[in-house]
Amino acid sequence: MTATAWNQLPEVRSPAGRTAAAVLAEGPRRQALPGFEPVYRDIVDYIVRCTHRIWEQKDIGLCRTHYADSCVMHTLNGPNCGVENVVQGTLSALSAFADRQAIAEDVIWSEDAPGLFYSSHRITSRSTHEGVDATYGAGMGKAQMATTVADCVVRDNLIVEEWLFRDNARAALQMGHSPRAVAAAQADADRLGDPARHAWRQAWIDRVRAHETRGPDADHPASGPARLLDAAWRADLYGEAARQVSPSIEVSWPTGRYGWGRGYWAGCLLQMRAHLHRFAMTIDHWAARPLPYGDVAVALRWSACGVHAGTGPWGAPTGREILVAGSSHYVLRNGRIVRDQTIFDELAVLRQVHGGLGAQAPSGGVR
Amino acid sequence: MKDAVTVGATAAGAGAGERAGERVGAGVGAGAGEGEGAEASAIVGAAADVWAVLQLLLCGQAAAAEHLANDLRVEASGHTTFGRTDAIDLFAVHPLVFSDDVQRLVSPRSLAVLGDTADGRAVGAFADLVEGVITRVWVVAATALDATAEPAVAVARDDFMSQLRQRCQGDAADHPELQSDDWAHILGLGVAALDAGPPAASSSQVWVMRAFSSGGSVAALYRLRVHAATLPRQAHDRLVLAVARVQGSEAPLHQRLALSDPLPGPAPVSL
């Protein structure tokens, strides 16, 4: 149940295909935003503008008026809790990649209850590694351009919960690093210290396996893509799913995967599934918004897990249970997917493959 | 201008009948009548502005920036860019100068332009438009010497998923600016694009990326996946821009194809 239908308020526009001046233009409010700063015209403007103010204008302290004290930021590397950790994380990132341009591609939002907003913000950020980064060390002037999806729950001008998915393996490659080497080093560090700090991962896996979410209603635009993910990943009916997308679907998946056509789309889904046995998945949230010319943008946030017992780009099977969480943004035309942009952090997946984040190998070896 | 490629009018077929860009406004929809003159003029006016902006962009002129989508994506000469500033920087290094008399087709959502370089090579550009703002651009031309692709995880694929194969894949329903009678021409032009290239295995495939009708003409952008005709099987991608005059079910007139060089393939990554 939502307070605003997915296609209400067409004046609250996607940033897709708009000039920078149009996206950042100030003006009167276009949407009821109780408790939000007056500068924000609507929920899309809030997301895009606060990102601009914090990351580009470098007013990092605004995190304190835009994140709840008890906020939780979920990533596949672990949760980040509390606003001061958000401030510190932002400072660290900008000290290494100062010239970050966060170019908004879309904000697919819903109002899940009056004044309670959910946004799925797709950004492709360009930045140069000039400072010292905790993972990559000293900057060598290499550029990176990674796509991120940030899903936020927002109320009263505050982000109370966030899920952050970044194409970190692609970023590592762009900077000349081996994702395998980076992930292995992270995994080595993960095995030191208190293993209880990785408990969040097992809790997330347990929720996926419990499969308690219900999925979108049939009359919501997200129901179609959700049904296709179901057909592919739960029923292993990749042809059935592929026949329902455009024959010329454009596909962008993490770590440089890019192609056209049903065969490529099915191949991406099948590759993931082939890695992971005893596969389970959930659709955790969905939203849809109108795009120009009658197209529809759909965001699906999903979680998946399975035992790494299949071969593929992640290397030899390890028998470890792996958690994958991500967001898929689709463009629908006449109800059919013509574009799929899926993001998950494949570097964090590799970190688990190498035994990090609490991922244990079975004592009896891979079965 | 550094290493500029200059593109002029097509060698054949140039003339008043080819200035489709200026008849496109009147041709969109059921046909222009007196009452639609103002709307047609507005469309033509807007189209002219978009053409001017595209020309500025393709020359790497910063003045284009404010008229481009902030999230502009460009695929040109083997390079891909994201964001309007990177696109301008790319064309500042690899400019493409289209003269005003090249073949142009325009619709509310699309702009296609095709001409010849001085040495007779057909070169084209296709732009997606949203309310007069350029949001995506593909340039169909030679691949620049400095073009490389990012490393990428390889994905095994079956482009047909059937023994019953269609060489050109697409669906007319994905192209709302295409008149339904023109879809057969689009498919035919796609197959012609595949046949126009070097010998390719039967597993080669064409996808219709974009297609629209405009004033008795059609324009289409295709992506080709060309498998070598020999073993080991290797594939590369190319872009093709096709424009043609069409009339019912008759074979297209004044058909022109611009075929890109092979696009750089990503080095496979083992994670």
Q: Distance (Å, rounded) from C-alpha A242 to C-alpha A253?
A: 16
Query: What is residue B19's predicted lDDT score, i.e. its pLDDT?
Result: 29
Q: Please, which pLDDT band fits residue B114 given cuts at 50, 70 and 90?
A: very high
Query: What is residue B2's predicted lDDT score, i.e. its pLDDT?
Result: 55
pLDDT: is B56 or B41 the higher one?
B56
CB B161 within 8 A of CB B155: no
**Closest to B131 measured CA to CA, from B43, B4, B70:** B43
Residue of B nearest to A180 (CA): B271
Confirm or reject contact between A176 and chain B (CB < 8 A).
Answer: no
Residue to substitute from A13, A126, A250, A260, interface B, most B β-carbons within 10 A: A260
pLDDT at B32 over 60: no
The alpha carbon of residue B86 is apart from the nearest alpha carbon of chain A, in Å, by 10
Asked if the Cβ–Cβ distance from B69 to A268 is below 8 Å, we say no
**Closest to A353 measured CA to CA, from A190, A204, A163, A197:** A190
Query: What is residue B48's predicted lDDT score, i.e. its pLDDT?
Result: 59
Confirm or reject contact between A247 and chain B (CB < 8 A).
Answer: yes
Q: Distance (Å, rounded) from C-alpha B120 to C-alpha B229?
A: 27
Confirm or reject contact between B4 and chain A (CB < 8 A).
Answer: no
Q: SS in 3 state form for chain A?
A: CCCECCCCCCCCCCCCCCCHHHHHCCCCCCCCCCCCCCCCCCHHHHHHHHHHHHHHCCCHHHHHHHEEEEEEEECCCCCEECHHHHHHHHHHHHHHCCCCEEEEEEEEEEEEECCEEEEEEEEEEEEECCCCECCCECCCCCEEEEEEEEEEEEECCEEEEEEEEECHHHHHHHCCCCHHHHHHHHHHHHCCCCHHHHHHHHHHHHHHHHCCCCCCCCCCCCHHHHHHHHHHHHCCCHHHHHCCCCCCCEEECCCCCEEECHHHHHHHHHHHHHHEEEEEEEEEEEEEEECHHHCEEEEEEEEEEEEECCCCCCCCCCCCEEEEEEEEEEEEECCEEEEEEEEECHHHHHHHHCCCCCCCCCCCCCC
CA dihedral A336, A338, A344, A350 (to 10 degrees): 110
Q: Please, which pLDDT band fits residue B121 given cuts at 50, 70 and 90?
A: very high
Residue of A nearest to B171 (CA): A247
pLDDT: is A5 or B99 the higher one?
A5
E strands present in chain B: 5-8, 68-76, 79-82, 96-98, 103-107, 110-117, 122-130, 133-140, 168-169, 205-214, 217-227, 235-245, 253-259
Phi-psi region of A219 (alpha: psi -120 to 50; beta: other; left: phi over 0): alpha
Confirm or reject contact between A244 and chain B (CB < 8 A).
Answer: no
Q: Which of residues 96-155 of A touch B (CB under 8 A)?
A: 101, 103-105, 124, 126, 145
Asked if the Cβ–Cβ distance from B207 to A292 is below 8 Å, we say no
Asked if the Cβ–Cβ distance from A104 to B70 is below 8 Å, we say yes
In eight-state DSSP terms, residue B110 is: E
Report residues of chain A scoring pLDDT below 50: none
Both tokens of residue A287? 């939203």
From residue B56, alpha-carbon distances to B66, B85, B137 in Å are: 11, 13, 13
φ and ψ at residue B118, rounded to 5 degrees = -60, -30
pLDDT at B199 over 90: no
Least reliable range by pLDDT among A251-260, B44-53, B140-149: B44-53
Q: Please, which pLDDT band fits residue B100 given cuts at 50, 70 and 90?
A: confident
> In chain A, what residues touch B156 (CB-CB under 8 Å)?
267, 270-271
Q: Please, which pLDDT band fits residue B133 given cuts at 50, 70 and 90?
A: very high
> In chain B, what residues touch A246 (CB-CB under 8 Å)?
171, 174
Q: Distance (Å, rounded) from C-alpha B196 to C-alpha B173?
A: 26
The residues that bridge with B257 in the sheet, in sequence order, are: B242
Query: What is residue A212's predicted lDDT score, i.e. its pLDDT?
Result: 72
- Candidate from A17, A266, A313 with C-beta closest to B270: A313
Residue of B nearest to A315 (CA): B271
- Residue B206 DSSP SS3: strand
Say what the pTM is.
0.93
Confirm or reject contact between B164 and chain A (CB < 8 A).
Answer: no
- Candidate from B67, B69, B174 with C-beta closest to A248: B174
Confirm or reject contact between A315 and chain B (CB < 8 A).
Answer: yes
Least reliable range by pLDDT among A160-164, A201-205, B34-38, B233-237: B34-38
Q: Distance (Å, rounded) from C-alpha A69 to C-alpha A84?
A: 8
CB neighbours of residue B165 within 10 Å: 12
- Candidate from B66, B153, B158 with C-beta closest to A21: B66
ipTM beyond cut 0.90: yes
Q: Distance (Å, rounded) from C-alpha B247 to C-alpha B182?
A: 9
Query: What is residue A325's predicted lDDT score, i.e. its pLDDT?
Result: 98
What's the alpha-carbon Rg for chain A, to the nearest Å? 20
For residues B233-249, average pLDDT: 92
The number of C-beta contacts closer than 8 angstroms across A and B is: 144
Asked if the Cβ–Cβ distance from A261 to B208 is below 8 Å, we say no
- Residue B29 DSSP SS3: coil
CB A122 within 8 A of CB A147: yes
Both tokens of residue A252? 């962008």
